[in-house]
Structure 1
Amino acid sequence: MKRFLFIAFILASIIVIFISHTHYDQKLATIADEAEDMKVEASPATIEEESASVESFINTLELGGLLEEVVDQNKDDEILVMVFGSSAITSVEEKESMPHMLLPYLQTLLPDQNIALTVMDVKDATSSDVLADNYIDKVIRNKPDLLVMEPLLFNDFDKVDLDESLDHLETIMADLTEKLPDTTIVLSPANPIDDEKYVALVDQVKSFSKDQNYFFADRWEEKIKKSDQSLFTNEKLLTEVGHLIWTEFLIEYFVK
């Protein structure tokens, strides 16, 4: 009887160990799957390579274009730069985001000026929310010399009707140009989304900007052809590499 109980105990222990081990393996597999879902394909080597490319790029530029006009019309030694937009402009750590990467490049091009940077991130607010909550009044109170404005297409997509979104942008730009006549405003949409409706929205804003003689900086299509998926997170926001790309073509737009 004792021998039978002993054998039964051993068998039961083996079964428990087997079940626990199987459960543990499954848990590890689940964690691995979740980690794979969260992973962003932007390796340090890729980021370093893109960073070196931008550094090389900036060293070839000279002051000109819009940026020179901003300096010429500014009677102070300080240039006030403001970047306005959704979480698309702050989807990475602050120092690696497009607004903050603009700063050292502007300082390189404008060594005799003090550059003051203000970033207004409206998070996930749509253009309707921005108008209702008077965000634009805050921009106007800052009186920037150069305003880089993401037109909230990323936030409006699938939430605000296309025509309504365009009407809101028209209202916002009319208010800004009236109350900030000395401010140079550059519209620059966030990274594109692989969706026909979103592409149509960007095209409409581009046409609107052209009709109204607004500055519109958008070279995403050209840049993406030279890049890969290291530009985007799984939430379709930009990685550090994407912010480097955005910084590069904005700086180029400013001086040419």
Structure 2
Amino acid sequence: MKRFLVTLLAIGCIAVLIAGNKHWKEKTFVAAERNKQEVKVKTEEPEIDSEEAFIKLAANWPEQAKKNYQLALKEGRPFTILIAGSSNALGLDDTAWSTIVKKELEQAYGETIQVIVKSYDLTSRQFIAEDKLAELITVQPDVTLLEPFTLMDNGNVMISESHQTIEEIRSALAEANPEHVLMLQPPNPLYQANYYPVQVEALQKYADEEDIPYLNHWTAWADPDSKDIQAFLTDGDESTTPSEKGHQVWAEFIVDYFIEE
């Protein structure tokens, strides 16, 4: 009888230990799962906040571009902005407006976007003839800000042909990416030019008629008919390229458009 009671007591102790261990494991599992959920929520909240913050920065963008950017954010892929045009207009060094814009946009949007600059010392006719369009297609941009060689075409290419080149560029980029958004801008203003302003006015009219977003940065420059404009150009009266001050004004206009503070 004594052995039976000892055996029974031993079995009871083992049962209590097993039950206690099972209960402890269940509590530990529940606590661990709760911690996981808390960590997940804490991790996801900044991501949501960041996404909303990035969308706010892009408030001025064309609606299609904003939708495409939002989709890129959700998919976790970089959104590509291509800046293309003539070398004289875009500039080539660290003080060039295109370089400044690239730096500012990539700093503001972080790894969510990439900015690629492509410049050519060509007229629009030469650009097509030398198949440079293929280089733009290879970039697979989501948005292209194009300076369509307007000043390079001055005296060399008819306005209608210049506009035809824009259409070829737009069609080719849209074929490569159906959601692509093209934007246009003029090159820099000149001092007391004659035919050139007619070209620029025709460019803006073309953009309006084709419903292409047009960034008229000339509104940020000094009056092209006054001597004040000379400070924004490299060599005064005869200059066709922006000075450092001109590049800065141009950069500020484009940055203010792409980054809504």
Secondary structure, counterpart of 2:221 in structure 1: helix
Tell whether the 8 Å contact from 2:58 to 2:259 is kept in structure 1 after alignment: yes
Structure whose alpha-carbon radius of gyration is higher:
2
Structure 1: tracts of 5 or more residues without a match: 1-60
Work out which structure has the larger RCO, using CA pairs closer than 8 Å and 6 or more positions apart in sequence: 1
Aligned pairs (5 A) from 1:98-113: 98-111=97-110, 113=111
Change (3 A) 1:91 1:99: closer
1:1-256 → structure 2 map (5 Å cutoff): 62-66=57-61, 68-74=66-72, 75-91=75-91, 93=93, 95-111=94-110, 113-123=111-121, 125-193=122-190, 194-225=192-223, 228-234=229-235, 235-255=239-259
Partner of residue 12, structure 1:
none
Amino acid in the other structure paired with 2:71: Q
Cα distance in 2 for partners of 1:92, 1:140 equals 22
Q: Is the partner of 1:110 in helix, strand or coil?
A: helix
Task: Give the 3-state SS of the residue equivalent to 1:104 in structure 2.
Answer: helix
Give the Cα separation in 1 of the matches to 2:183 and 2:201.
Answer: 16
In the alignment, the residues of structure 2 paired with residue 197 and residue 150 of structure 1 have an alpha-carbon distance, to the nearest angstrom, of 18
Contact 2:105–2:259 (CA<8 Å) still a contact in 1? no
Q: How many residues get paired?
A: 193
Aligned CA distance change for structure 1 residues 252 and 69 (closer, same or farther; 3 Å): farther
**TM-score under structure 2 length normalisation:** 0.66
8 Å CA contact 2:140, 2:176 repeated in 1: no
Would you say the 8 A contact 2:182–2:213 is kept in 1?
Answer: yes
Q: Is the 8 A contact 1:68 1:255 kept in 2?
A: no
The one-letter code sitting in structure 1 at the alignment partner of 2:241 is L
Aligned residue for 1:65, secondary structure, equals: coil
* SS in structure 2 of the partner of residue 169 of structure 1: helix
How far apart in 1 are the matches of 2:199 and 2:161? 11
Q: Deviations over 1:146-195 (max 9, x none)?
A: 22111100110011122222222233223333333222322111102332
TM-score, normalisation: structure 1: 0.67
Q: Is the 8 A contact 2:137 2:173 kept in 1?
A: yes
The AA in structure 2 aligned to 1:158 is: G
Task: Give secondary structure in 2 for the equivalent of 1:198.
Answer: helix
Measure how far apart 1:217 and its partner are.
0.5
The 1:237/1:120 distance shift into structure 2, 3 A limit, reads same
Contact 1:85 1:149 in 2 (8 A): yes
1:80-116 deviations in Å (ceiling 9; x for gaps): 22211111244352x21122111232134324x3443
Cα distance in 1 between the residues matched to 2:160 and 2:78: 39
- Is contact 2:83–2:116 with CA below 8 Å preserved after alignment? yes
Q: Which amino acid aligns with 1:199?
A: P
- Is this contact kept in 1: 2:186–2:203, CA < 8 A? no
